[in-house]
């Protein structure tokens, strides 16, 4: 059985004018039908914002994944990186599927890191 979520970023380091694209692939290959809470979290050194509203309060979406479901490269964020002062590395996005109510991770989770600067 393969159940989980994969994240993909268009780059690991962003500068002004760089295309920022974050996608998620959710899959349930060969397993039973399952209802999950899908979480994607932006982690900026211990401060957290939850997708899909990108608020600090916990947010997620609920999906029922049937056997063989595969949601490939869903666009999570897509924009051109703006001019910003300073630089940072080590910002993270986390993604996981959790069992509703029990808050146990189901299948594979993922994490990607990025930074930005001049």
**Token pair recorded at residue 23:** 């996608």
List pLDDT tens digits, range 15-69.
Answer: 999 999 999 999 998 888 899 999 999 999 999 999 999 999 999 999 998 887 7
pLDDT of 31 reads: 82
pLDDT of residue 73: 77
Cβ atoms within 10 A of the Cβ of 34, count? 19
Residue found under tokens 């500068």: 15
Q: Where are the beta strands (DSSP E) in the chain?
A: 2-9, 13-14, 19-29, 34-44, 47-50, 61-65, 69-80, 88-98, 105-116
Residue environment code for 78-107, b if the CB has 16+ CB neighbours within 10 A, otherwise e? eeebeeeeeeeeeeebbbbbbeeeeeeebb
Average pLDDT over residues 95-110: 92
Domain coverage including residue 25: 2-116
**Predicted local distance difference test score (pLDDT) of residue 110:** 98
Indicate which CATH number applies to the domain containing 15: 2.60.40.10
Of residues 8, 9, 6, the one with CA closest to residue 115? 9
Specify the number of domains making up the chain: 1
Q: What is the pTM of this model?
A: 0.91
| β-sheet bridge partners, residue 102 | none
């Amino acid at each position: 059985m393969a159940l989980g979520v994969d994240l993909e970023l268009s780059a690991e380091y962003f500068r002004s004018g760089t295309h920022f694209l974050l996608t998620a692939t959710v899959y349930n290959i060969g397993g039973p039908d399952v209802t999950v809470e899908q979480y994607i979290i932006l982690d900026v050194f211990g401060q957290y914002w939850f997708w899909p509203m990108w608020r600090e309060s916990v947010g997620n979406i609920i999906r029922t994944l049937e056997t063989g479901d595969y949601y490939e490269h869903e666009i999570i964020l897509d924009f051109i990186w703006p001019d910003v002062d300073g630089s940072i590395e080590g910002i993270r996005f986390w993604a996981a599927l959790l069992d509703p109510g029990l808050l146990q991770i189901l299948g594979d989770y993922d994490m990607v890191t990025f930074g930005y600067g001049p």
